[in-house]
């Protein structure tokens, strides 16, 4: 009985070693840096400052401004992706012809590197040289996509363009796994399409919706490439997201100790969101 168990442990050991090397060591080193005053410009050994970096992070108005910017970005981007993704998934579910071609074309954007997407839209939406502003100007519309009060929404639309296919993929899989009997029974009873969607389809799709929203929200929270490729946090600090703020603190301003503490605060918030979401899912299943 012990031989198969030892064999299983031996099979898992390389995976554990890889995980420790790729994830464990960087995470542990970041935890060490978060309690030091380490700066890239210092040559000596960093001094241990304990929780001072975390106290400074909680009192940093710039960090909380970036937190609010990121939250707004996530709400706008994921909200639009959910609505558009659900509409497309419902349409694709009923499609009878060229299904494989349509789905492959629809999923193409999410396989492009995000930095390449950001650079592409940077030139497409440039108010002086961009193709889209030029076409709008031809019909009398002058719109600066990266101007004040617009830049963050533009970045959210870029995210929507690239990652709505991911939402479509999850929701389409969920729709196709829903049993047909409740839908057929509702239609036999004379229920309309919107009633069936609201009262039957969405409740049955709720677990998939929660997972899709959670995955996309966590991914959108760490957005960096779009900001780096287009606005660099501007105009002002309007598009300064958490990841870009941490990048500025650690790389541009050389304060790796402070940046590490900020990253761990974000990690704690993300873990708390995950725990709350999954507990609610478990409670919903037991009802």
Whole-number pLDDT of residue 76 = 97
Whole-number pLDDT of residue 172 = 92
What is the distance between the alpha carbons of residues 149 and 145, in angstroms, rounded to a whole number? 9
pLDDT digits (tens, 9 = 90+) for 199-226: 888 988 988 998 899 999 999 999 999 9
What is the phi/psi pair of residue 179, to 5°? -65, 145
The distance of Cα 271 from the centroid of its chain, to the nearest Å, equals 14
Q: For every one of its 287 residues, what pLDDT tens digit does the chain have, with 9 covering 90 and above?
A: 455 656 566 677 788 888 888 888 888 999 999 999 999 888 888 899 989 999 999 999 999 999 999 999 999 999 999 999 999 999 988 877 877 788 888 888 999 999 999 999 999 999 888 999 999 999 999 999 999 999 999 999 999 999 999 999 999 999 989 888 888 788 787 778 788 888 888 988 988 998 899 999 999 999 999 999 999 998 999 999 999 999 999 999 999 999 999 999 998 888 888 888 888 777 766 66
What is the phi/psi pair of residue 156, to 5°? -65, -40
- In CATH, which of 1.10.10.60, 2.40.40.20, 3.40.50.2030, 1.10.3720.10 is domain 69-236? 1.10.3720.10
pLDDT digits (tens, 9 = 90+) for 31-45: 999 999 999 888 888
What is the distance between the alpha carbons of residues 218 and 277, in angstroms, rounded to a whole number? 12
Cβ–Cβ under 8 Å, residues 241 and 72: no
User: What are the extents of the domains in the chain?
Assistant: 69-236
Contacts of residues 102-111 at CB distance under 8 Å and 24 or more positions apart, as own/partner, are 106/165, 106/168, 107/165, 107/168, 107/169, 108/165, 109/161, 109/162, 109/163, 109/164, 109/165, 110/162, 110/163, 110/165, 110/166
User: CA dist 6 to 20, 23, 244, Å?
Assistant: 20, 25, 46
Whole-number pLDDT of residue 182 = 83
Beta-strand runs (E) in 56-142: none
C-alpha gyration radius of the chain: 24
Q: How many other CB atoms are there within 10 angstroms of residue 262's CB atom?
A: 28
Report the predicted TM-score, pTM, of the whole model to 2 decimal places.
Answer: 0.90
Whole-number pLDDT of residue 240 = 96
Q: For tokens 């650690």, what's the residue?
A: 250
Helices 99-107 and 61-94, packing angle to 10 deg:
170
User: CA dist 130 to 134, 143, 151, 162, Å?
Assistant: 6, 11, 15, 19
């Amino acid at each position: 009985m012990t031989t198969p168990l030892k064999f299983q442990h031996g099979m898992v050991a390389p995976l554990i070693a890889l995980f420790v090397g790729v994830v464990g060591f960087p995470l542990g080193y970041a935890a060490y840096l978060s309690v030091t005053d380490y700066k890239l410009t210092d040559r000596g050994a960093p001094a241990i400052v304990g929780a001072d970096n975390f106290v400074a992070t909680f009192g940093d108005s710039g960090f909380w401004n970036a937190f609010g910017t990121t939250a707004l970005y996530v709400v706008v981007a994921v909200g639009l992706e959910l609505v558009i993704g659900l509409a497309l998934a419902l349409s694709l579910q009923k499609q009878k012809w060229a299904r494989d071609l349509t789905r492959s074309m629809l999923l193409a954007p999410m396989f492009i590197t995000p930095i390449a997407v950001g650079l592409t839209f940077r030139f497409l939406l440039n108010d002086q040289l961009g193709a889209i502003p030029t076409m709008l100007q031809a019909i009398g519309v002058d719109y600066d996509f990266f101007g004040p009060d617009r830049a963050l929404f533009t970045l959210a639309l870029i995210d929507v363009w690239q990652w709505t296919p991911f939402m479509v993929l999850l929701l389409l899989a969920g729709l196709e796994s829903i049993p047909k009997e409740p839908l057929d029974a509702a239609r036999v009873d004379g229920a309309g399409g919107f009633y069936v969607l609201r009262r039957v389809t969405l409740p049955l799709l709720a677990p998939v919706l929660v997972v899709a929203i959670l995955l996309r929200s966590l991914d959108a929270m760490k957005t960096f490439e779009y900001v780096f490729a287009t606005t660099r946090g501007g105009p002002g600090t309007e598009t300064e997201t958490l990841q870009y703020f941490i990048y500025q603190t650690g790389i541009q301003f050389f304060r790796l100790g402070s940046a590490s503490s900020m990253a761990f605060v974000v990690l704690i918030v993300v873990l708390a969101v995950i725990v709350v979401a999954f507990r609610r899912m478990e409670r919903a299943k037991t009802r």
